[in-house]
C-alpha cells in the first residue's frame, strides 16, 4: 500500500479506534448523548476512509496524482474538524456550529472530488478488453 492509499487506511484505523473508544465510554457511562458523533466517526471516518484507501490501492496510478493528495487533505482536515466540532457542539457548546457547518461542506466537497476522480476510472476500467484489464 502506498502514498494516498496508506494515508487513508491509517486515517481509517485512527477513526475506528476513536469511534470505538467513544462507544465504549458511552456504554460504560450510560450516557449516549454523543451517539451522533460516534455514528459520524464510524461511518464518515472509518468506513469512508477505508473505502477511499481500497480504491487508491486498487488503482495505484490514480493515487500518485496531485488530485488524490488534495482529496486526502481536504477529507482529512474537514473530517477531523467536523467530528471534533460535532463532539463539542453536542457537549453543549452551540457556538461551534459554524465550524461544524464549514467542515461538513468541506467533507462533502471531498466526496464530490472523489466522485470526480473515481467514477471515470471505474467506468474506463469497465470498458477495457479483458486482455488490457490485467
| Per-residue model confidence as pLDDT tens digits over 41-54 | 999 999 999 999 99
Stretch 115-128: mean pLDDT, rounded? 81
Rounded to whole angstroms, how far apart are CA atoms 116 and 110? 10
Residue range 56-65, pLDDT digits in tens: 999 999 999 9
Rounded to whole angstroms, how far apart are CA atoms 5 and 11? 10
Q: For the chain, how are helix, strand and coil distributed in percent, rounded to 5? A: 90, 0, 10
Rounded to whole angstroms, how far apart are CA atoms 20 and 107? 21
Query: What integer pLDDT is reported at residue 126 of this predicted model?
Result: 58
CB atoms within 10 A of CB 9: 18
32: DSSP letter: -
Looking up cell 487513508 gives 8
Please check whether residue 72 is in contact with residue 4, taking contact to mean a CB–CB distance below 8 angstroms: yes
pLDDT band per the 50, 70, 90 thresholds, residue 129:
low
pLDDT band per the 50, 70, 90 thresholds, residue 2:
confident
Which helix (H) or strand (E) element contains residue 82? helix 66-90
pLDDT at 125 over 70: no
Q: Which residues make Cβ contacts (< 8 Å) with residue 72, sequence separation at least 6?
A: 4, 7, 8, 52
Amino acid at each position: 500500500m502506498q502514498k494516498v492509499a496508506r494515508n487513508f487506511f491509517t486515517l481509517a484505523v485512527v477513526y475506528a479506534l476513536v469511534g470505538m473508544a467513544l462507544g465504549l465510554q458511552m456504554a460504560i457511562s450510560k450516557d449516549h448523548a454523543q451517539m451522533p458523533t460516534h455514528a459520524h466517526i464510524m461511518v464518515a471516518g472509518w468506513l469512508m476512509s477505508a473505502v477511499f484507501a481500497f480504491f487508491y490501492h486498487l488503482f495505484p496510478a490514480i493515487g500518485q496524482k496531485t488530485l488524490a493528495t488534495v482529496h486526502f487533505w481536504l477529507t482529512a482536515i474537514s473530517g477531523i474538524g467536523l467530528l471534533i466540532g460535532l463532539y463539542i457542539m453536542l457537549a453543549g457548546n452551540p457556538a461551534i456550529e459554524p465550524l461544524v457547518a464549514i467542515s461538513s461542506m468541506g467533507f462533502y466537497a471531498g466526496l464530490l472530488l472523489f466522485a470526480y476522480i473515481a467514477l471515470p476510472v471505474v467506468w474506463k476500467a469497465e470498458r477495457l478488453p479483458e486482455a488490457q484489464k490485467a
